[in-house]
Amino acid sequence: MDFIPAELTISGTDRVIVIGVGVVALIALAIAFVLRAGVLAAGQGTPKMQEISEAVQEGAAAYLGRQFRTLGVFVVIVFALLFVLPADSTGERIGRSLFFLVGAGFSASIGYLGMWLATRANVRVAAAANGEGRERAMQIAFRTGGTVGLATTGLGLLGASAVVLVYVGEAPKVLEGFGFGAAMLAMFMRVGGGIFTKAADVGADLVGKVEQGIPEDDPRNAATIADNVGDNVGDCAGMAADLFESYAVVLVASLILGSAAFGTKGLIFPLIVPAIGVLTAIIGVYTTRAKVGESGLTTINRAFYISAGISAVLCGVASFVYLPGSFAELGVAAVAGEGGNPQVIAFVAVVIGIVLAAIILWLTGYFTGTETKPTQDVAKTSLTGAATVILSGISVGFESAVYTALVIAAAVYGAFLLSGSLIVALFAIALAGCGLLTTVGVIVAMDTFGPVSDNAQGIAEMSGDVSPEGAQILTELDAVGNTTKAITKGIAIATAVLAATALFGSYSDAIGKAVIKALGAVDTMGDSVRTQAGQFIDLGTQFFVANVVQPSTLVGMLLGAAVVFLFSGLAVNAVSRAAGAVVQEVRRQFREIPGIMEGTTRPEYGKVVDIVTRDSLRELATPGLLAVFAPIAVGFGMGVGPLAGYLAGTIATGTLMAVFLANSGGAWDNAKKIVEDGKFGGKGSAAHEATIIGDTVGDPFKDTAGPAINPLIKVMNLVAVLIAPAVVGLTIGDGANTLVRVLIALAAVAVIVVAVVVSKRRASAL
């Protein structure tokens, strides 16, 4: 084991660098404000288009307002609990709890900004497509995402640099609170927003498209406004918060491991890398200009590759300028004799992360794009019915999950092989995550592009004020948006895996420090520690070594894998219940309100919005409680060794499950687009109805359960890091108390059981 050095100090030069990183963060926020102003300056189209957009704005704002009030209860409880957990000093305990609030607040702010701007950009994209052409419409949509992307990177860097500047040596522990706050809020927003958006979408499709045979965004469908609201609270607010917490959690892992591996240099360098990413994201956003006749996806991919290439070059310069050429110069006793060059290790690790992002972009685009063979094959199976569409989509998801997992595993293992020292190798994995983060500004822009384009098409269809040429432009942008959303989900899960793997090192570090504190140990030798009295204690006998052949560790792995399945099942079931209520309500309105089908009577849109709002807010509690209390139950009940197995099970299973769900759903969605564009019978055909069923099944896959697994993995890892000292303290040394440990575990299990039982028995809002 290697442990964080006892004392870290920041020299004058390093302090200037940290301040410079903070300035870069402020520049990112300023550019985001400029981009926001540019988006809002665009034309808003006809009064009818503006009326529809305002209804979407009101619904999204009302939902997020109620969601934040609901989540406020959880935030207050966790804030109090963080005070109870062990800490090395009162300042660390206070800082950890306060920055938990900061992380949660930043995550909520990013989510709200994404929703607020997207609901105002949609009508502007529709108006631009109608009057100014495809290039202008695409620019507005992408710069909307660019605003959110730069705000994400800006707030993430600002929070991390402020903690390092104020807390220095205690910064890694304080940042655990910052990352946990961001991750917890993101998970709740991901789950709640995902349930909202897909319940409305599924209900609208089943009644409108399948039963009534009307278009997707027909104003006669009472669920259309809720569907468009859902695109924003799920894909904009939820995904923006998700990527922000990825940003925060990777920085947390990097700073914890970096300070252990590289000392003060390791505390500063992980801030420099994403700061470079901010600058290249600005370049990427401003260079995204569609050429005449060029595919929108090609344009966006080009911006990504340009920013990634520039990031790789600048990070190489930073590595060789800032870091020393040997480990002896770092001044860290644990790695003083290590061979290799820290400059080369850091640079190659960052490049691995950047290349990983590029490969996943290509790989996900291949399996979900409208012009590639897998999705074309799924669309073709619509000729033989819905069952074959579903089977082929599942097949695509399974296959793509394997290739994506192999690519991520290769990146993790490649970074790990960069050094023979465990702590340096784990830091290299964290730096690969930082490398991937250099592209996050463009990634968020790509993700937000999807729902903005989707909403723009919905506004055009509902208003009837867009020309056939404008409608075709919006259809094309919507299809591109489906692919970019799938790509960002793939990159998000890669970030989650890198962060979780790096947090493994942080978890081991937390255990080591707790053992030293509990036993008065002075150093380590293999799997043993030596106390001040000269006694050696085997950590394996105390369940502090996660040996995979131990039954307890294997049981932990099984439990971790099982939690991913349970979490996914709860999320999909929540969508099913809420969607059922939407179906019943829309059917009722068609049946009981005269004139809806004739277009002479306006449907009661607010009724559907209210149903999915209430259902989604009630349903988000159970998955959230599962994520927080399951690792507590395993850790206190079985020990930190089995808890390590538990985390391994969640990472492995979560990676495969998240990619499978996201890519299956993406393939089904774009297969529907292919048929709607005229292939295999076109709109209204039996093939079209089959792809609608496939898309309906895929909706909770790709937009609810799949994306929510990303923050789930990181929340559980952070909970493990936070509780590890308490578990150790109750297991060995003077504070050992088996009864208290067991009671805590039983209480956590009771919370999970009650939450799941209540969820299963819950009726829909209808």
Q: What is the pLDDT of residue 209?
A: 72
Tell me the pLDDT tens digit for each residue of 513-524: 676 666 665 555
Residue whose tokens read 């991750």: 183
Given a cut of 70, is residue 283 above it in pLDDT?
A: yes
535: nearest Cα among 544, 522, 547, 553: 522
Given a cut of 60, is residue 312 above it in pLDDT?
A: yes
- CA 738 – CA 743 distance, rounded (Å): 9
Give the DSSP H or E segment for 11. none
- Rounded to whole angstroms, what are the CA distances from 464 to 47, 52, 126, 459? 12, 11, 11, 8
Q: What is the pLDDT of residue 542?
A: 43
- CA 118 – CA 107 distance, rounded (Å): 17
Most confident of 298-312, 377-391, 621-635: 377-391
Cβ-contact 208, 597 below 8 angstroms? no
Tell me the pLDDT tens digit for each residue of 572-623: 888 888 888 888 888 888 888 888 787 778 888 778 888 888 877 777 778 8
Complete DSSP assignment for 15-41: HHHHHHHHHHHHHHHHHHHHHHHHHHT
The one-letter amino acid code at 659 reads V
Which structure tokens are listed for 342? 């820290």
Q: Taking residues 481-494, what's their average pLDDT?
A: 78
Cβ-contact 136, 144 below 8 angstroms? no
Which of 48-52, 80-84, 749-753 is predicted with the least confidence, judged by mean pLDDT?
80-84
* Of residues 231 and 424, more confidently modeled: 424
| Residue partners of 250: CB distance under 8 A and separation at least 6 | 430, 433, 434, 436, 437, 495, 498, 499, 502
Q: Taking residues 561-578, what's their average pLDDT?
A: 88
Q: What is the pLDDT of residue 685?
A: 86
- CA 527 – CA 256 distance, rounded (Å): 21
* Helix, strand or coil, per DSSP, at residue 743: helix
* Of residues 744 and 264, more confidently modeled: 744
CB atoms within 10 A of CB 760: 10
Tell me the pLDDT tens digit for each residue of 703-712: 888 888 888 8
- Mean pLDDT across the chain: 81
Most confident of 34-38, 461-465, 605-609: 34-38
Phi, psi of 477 (to 5 degrees): -65, -35
284: nearest Cα among 318, 310, 247: 310
Given a cut of 90, is residue 98 above it in pLDDT?
A: no
**pLDDT grade, residue 88 (50/70/90)?**
low
Helix, strand and coil content of the chain, in percent to the nearest 5, comes to 85, 0, 15
Tell me the pLDDT tens digit for each residue of 679-696: 888 887 888 889 888 888
Using a pLDDT cut of 90, give the percent of the chain over it.
13
- Rounded to whole angstroms, what are the CA distances from 214 to 203, 579, 593, 598, 684? 13, 18, 17, 12, 9
Instruction: Kindly tell me the burial class for residue 109, based on how many C-beta atoms sit within 10 Å of its own C-beta (0-12, 13-18, 19 or more).
Output: middle
Q: Taking residues 453-470, what's their average pLDDT?
A: 81
Most confident of 85-89, 94-98, 354-358: 354-358
**pLDDT grade, residue 90 (50/70/90)?**
confident
Residue 537: strand pairing partners: 529
**pLDDT grade, residue 540 (50/70/90)?**
very low
Q: Taking residues 460-465, what's their average pLDDT?
A: 79
- In the chain, the N- to C-terminal Cα span, in Å, equals 55
Which of 34-43, 140-149, 177-186, 693-702 is predicted with the least confidence, judged by mean pLDDT?
177-186
- CA 143 – CA 282 distance, rounded (Å): 10
**pLDDT grade, residue 193 (50/70/90)?**
confident
Q: What is the pLDDT of residue 131?
A: 78
Chain centre to alpha carbon of residue 696: 22
**pLDDT grade, residue 3 (50/70/90)?**
very low
Given a cut of 70, is residue 541 above it in pLDDT?
A: no
Q: What is the pLDDT of residue 548?
A: 63
Using a pLDDT cut of 70, give the percent of the chain over it.
89
Tell me the pLDDT tens digit for each residue of 390-421: 999 999 999 999 998 999 999 989 998 988 77
Q: What is the pLDDT of residue 537?
A: 55
Which of 136-140, 216-220, 755-759 is predicted with the least confidence, judged by mean pLDDT?
216-220
Give the DSSP H or E segment for 537. strand 536-538
Chain centre to alpha carbon of residue 88: 31
Within 13 A of 592's CA, how many CA atoms are on the CB side?
A: 8
- CA 657 – CA 698 distance, rounded (Å): 13
Q: What is the pLDDT of residue 27?
A: 92
Question: pTM of the prediction?
Answer: 0.82
Which structure tokens are listed for 332? 């860290």
Cβ-contact 440, 404 below 8 angstroms? no
